Chains A and B, each alone.
Chain A
Amino acid sequence: MRPGPLRSGLLPSGLLRDLALALAALAVFLAVPVVFPQPALRDFLIYFFAYGLLAMSLNLLVGLTGLVSFGHAAYFASGAYVFGLLMQSGRVSIPVATLAAVGGTAILALVIGAICVRLKEIYFSFITLAFQMFIHSIIVTWVGLTGGDQGLRGGIPRPPILGLDLNDARTLYGTCVVVFVVCIVAMRQVSQSPFGYTLRMIRDNPARANFLGVNVVLMKLGIFVFAGAMASIGGVLLALFVSGAYPEFAFWTTSGEAIFMIMLGGMKLFLGPLVGTLLLQTLNHFVTIYTEYHGLVLGSVILLIVLGLRRGLADYLYDWLQDRRARRAPSAPVPEPVVKSRPV
């Protein structure tokens, strides 16, 4: 399989360097509560991890494969609900419930994806949205199982795993850090694998991929299932932290927010969506403190970024760096960043 047009990222493709960076990130995140012991910062970061996984996994579809899913939150919610329900049953441990949540969500994504990935462009977006609305209505209607609009009530128990007591806020935070970093590394590996490059080719030129004998539908389905599974881990983290699962997790606004995180951060860089997540969460956190008219502020900031920078924040920085490098060494050929506009 021939790799598609190579896009240079901040991270080189070497596994070793990825791992080194991951370890460094792990150390930094673990050190944060030691340096700044305020619980609010830990809380903020746990939300960042949960929504970051949602946005990062969605970008595997949007940025990597060119599949604009409007219904990604369905898998986020399915992770939270499967995990929460299993834990409330009191029969399984946290790791088992997590694995079941991921596995169950993967099956759900497989069934829905098998129908959706055959559709193109905006029609793919709409049908994923339709399935998400369907799943949301199941959660709201099936009151006996899910608690309906009131959500899973009564808290999610956190029995100790191998002597780790997750009821302790610091241990919970540490666990979330490890899970988050492992998931990001996993997504990075998929994106840098031959499979990942095949997906880029499908995004940039599906006809060519088809001629080369790539089973486009199967490849798309593969990444759809993987992205769904990764989103479910985000859901598990959130459920574990807020000690509940709510139908709002599966509402279209949650999917919309994930898309905005990607757009605000940028989708050219692997970690771009995390920049967007950080931006949106930080804005949300501070603006809500100052004013109840946060919509007015957030809307204006989005307009400024879109109309001023004309791209996501990380993409802007990336292009700026590329420009500078190009000006310094005019002889070196610079790969033109492909700005793709999707016809609707």
Chain B
Amino acid sequence: MGTKRTGARAVSRRQVLGGLAAGAAITGFPHIAGAQAKAIRVGMPTILSGRVAILGTSGRAAVQLAFRQINEAGGIGGRTLELVDRDSKGRPDEAAKVTRDLINNDGCEIIIDGEASSGAFAVHEVIRDLPVLCLHTCSETSSLSADPKLHVKTAFRCARQGIHDAVAGGTYAARIAKEKGLKRWMTCSPDYAYGRDNTAEFLEFAKIFEPSVEVVDQVWPKLFAPDYTESITKILQVKPQAIYSALWGGDLVAFIEQSNLYRLFANIGFFSGGLGDPPVLTAIKQLPPGLNTAYRYNRNYPAKPANAAFADGFAGIAKHEPTNWAWQCYTACLFIAEALKRTNGSTEGARLAAELKGMKLAAPFAVDDAITMRDTDHTIIGYPVAWGRTVPKAPYVEDFSGVDWAKIVELETQWKKGKGYA
């Protein structure tokens, strides 16, 4: 925090003075030539205000933790990493502007994109124009990296990807459905592109692995709806055996608590794509046991000392458990540091991108040995896509069962062919 504040202020004061003197509001300051500057500035456009502020604040805390550790260990050949974060307020045009400013005006040589959905695509287009290295750390939309038409040479995704979760979720759900004879399914997902795509893909794979799965009805509450009563009572009327939900964040917290009032989970199996995020789990006062959820983050999985150390270090800064966005941002920092080491500190976008392609990183979150940045489509594989079951007390989710990544990649390839991406 400290370094970032002073750094940002120094430039800004010059900006203000220049602006006053010349009558122009923004004059900025030209790049300090990369090799001489003491610190390598990394810009982070993200959402720090409004309903999803936790996305940005938790991602930022993870980057602060990573940079502190990297700098304490001697930095990159004596140079330190310095974070310049900026709020886009969740507006894509603002995200584009802020990203351009970070690169053009604040001398940021690398971008960690902490924007969700549309904002990530806006940043993606900026990077096409200004080709610095960019790591998307929040967008899970598959097309961002899977669609070759959208490919940008220096942009990478260091975040989970919808299609991977769909394969893993479908595999897990099919197994439980077979064991418990869950045939009649309903879905309850937020009514927007991510909610609909995510739900459709989950069902597609669940049906492939267990053909007896039948969808009897679907409800689509609005995104950020405060009240889910009509969806819950509709579920009560239809009486399915299992529900899949792509709800996340605060929406999911409200849905679970309101469902509790109706004892909804007493007889119905619940499968959630978003429940595994620790802030969601801790916000829910009455967490019902035995709900099935995808991994978002957990300090006990993968069971590695480095993972627990990360959780402790993160909690020291943010005062709460890490989020899904936190481990993704932290991993992105590790990728950046490793790439910088391999280029001897050169921040040129093309050189860093060449190093990142296919890079294997022994991150604390790797399910096997390493998380790999796949060179063909610039997205990570080998990260945790396990599913587990809830317990009312910390650590809230247990019994994680992973899915073999070879199988995920195989089905992902088929899916890409079907979409015309490969």
Contact = CB atoms under 8 A, between A and B. Distances in A.
Interface of A: 32, 35-36, 38-41, 43-44, 47, 140, 143, 147-151, 153-155, 238, 241-244, 246-249, 278, 282, 285-286, 288-290, 292, 294-295
Given A151-B92, A153-B150, A154-B149, A243 B125 contact: yes
A36 B100 contact: no
A244 B97 contact: no
A289 B8 contact: yes
Interface string B81-92: 000011100111
A41 B28 contact: yes
A247 B223 CA distance: 14
A150 B144 CA distance: 10
A32 B26 CA distance: 11
Contact of B125 (A40, A155, A238): A155
B386 interface: no
B121 interface: yes
Nearest to A48: B25
Given A153-B121, A243-B129, A247-B118, A294 B28 contact: no
Nearest to B91: A248
A151 B104 contact: no
- The 5 lowest CB-CB distance pairs between A and B, nearest first, are A148-B193, A40-B105, A246-B92, A292-B48, A38-B28
Contacts of B96: 241-244
Nearest to B22: A36
Contacts of A238: 93
B87 A294 contact: yes
B421 interface: no
Contacts of B141: 150
Nearest to B144: A153
A246 B101 contact: no
Judged by DSSP, the binding face of B is: helix
B97 to A, nearest CB: 6
Contacts of A148: 192-193
A292 B49 contact: yes
B122 interface: yes
Contacts of B93: 47, 238, 242, 246, 248-249
13 contacts: A38-B30, A40-B28, A40-B105, A149-B192, A150-B117, A153-B143, A244-B121, A244-B122, A244-B125, A285-B101, A288-B87, A292-B85, A295-B49
B97 A47 contact: yes
A35 B21 CA distance: 13
Interface in B110-125: 117-118, 121-122, 125
Contact of B104 (A38, A47, A286): A38
A278 B23 CA distance: 13
A261 to B, nearest CB: 15
B194 interface: yes
Point out which of A140, A151, A153 has the most chain B C-beta atoms below 10 A from its C-beta: A153
Interface string B1-41: 00000001100100110000010111110100000000000
Contact of B101 (A40, A147, A244): A40
Contacts of A290: 8-9, 12
Contact of B192 (A140, A248, A289): A140
Contacts of B121: 150-151, 153, 244
